[in-house]
């Protein structure tokens, strides 16, 4: 699979914003989580993520076609977060998210933990993260009567960086 990650710049902000809205809009419509859905964020939030000094947005490209994006940031030198990550609907189900997670984890070999959150009701997302070695952290937050946010964590055995 010819998938790569390229770090986004300010010039990419509008396209990432448009893709993020398109990718998350079906979930926003389904769960009505207006306060937390990436589909309901402003472009300013995307720009802040691109410019964040302890992280950044990465474009996910397949054969030079932009299919999604993943934002990564770190709380400490070895504690990393993925938020948000998305693949455009027309490119979902092709293994791109799985490969993107592998690539982002390889890009930051110093990470000893990876964390993320997803909607508990989205079983495909939960299955993906569990298949990638993430385990539910026990952290949950009821967003509304339709959905719950659930935390996932992956501990990396990387003796070199512990």
User: Could you give all domains of the chain from N- to C-terminal order, each with its CATH number?
Assistant: 3-161 (3.40.630.30)
Task: Give the pLDDT confidence score for residue 161 in this predicted structure.
Answer: 43
Decide: 120 and 126 in contact? Cβ < 8 Å.
yes
Task: Please state at what angle helix 96-107 crosses helix 123-131, rounded to 10 degrees.
Answer: 40
Q: What is the pLDDT of residues 105-145, one digit of tens each?
A: 999 999 999 999 999 999 999 999 999 999 999 999 999 99
Decide: 1 and 27 in contact? Cβ < 8 Å.
no
Q: What is the distance between the alpha carbons of residues 130 and 125, in angstroms, rounded to a whole number?
A: 9
User: 67: how many CB neighbours lie within 10 A of its CB?
Assistant: 21
Nearest to 58 by CA among 112, 96, 1: 96
């Amino acid at each position: 699979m010819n998938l790569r990650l390229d770090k986004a710049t300010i010039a990419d902000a509008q396209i990432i914003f448009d893709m993020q809205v398109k990718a998350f809009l079906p979930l926003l419509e389904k769960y009505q989580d207006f306060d937390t859905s990436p589909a309901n964020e402003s472009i300013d939030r995307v720009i802040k993520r691109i410019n964040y000094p302890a992280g950044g947005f990465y474009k996910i490209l397949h054969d030079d076609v932009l299919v999604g994006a993943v934002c990564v940031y770190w709380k400490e030198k070895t504690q990393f977060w993925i938020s948000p990550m998305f693949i455009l609907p027309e490119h979902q189900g092709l293994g791109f998210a799985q490969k993107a997670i592998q690539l982002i984890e390889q890009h930051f070999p110093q990470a000893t933990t990876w964390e993320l959150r997803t909607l508990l009701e989205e079983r495909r997302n939960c299955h993906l993260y569990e298949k990638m070695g993430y385990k539910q952290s026990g952290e949950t937050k009821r967003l509304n009567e339709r959905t719950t946010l659930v935390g996932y964590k992956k501990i990396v055995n990387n003796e070199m960086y512990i």
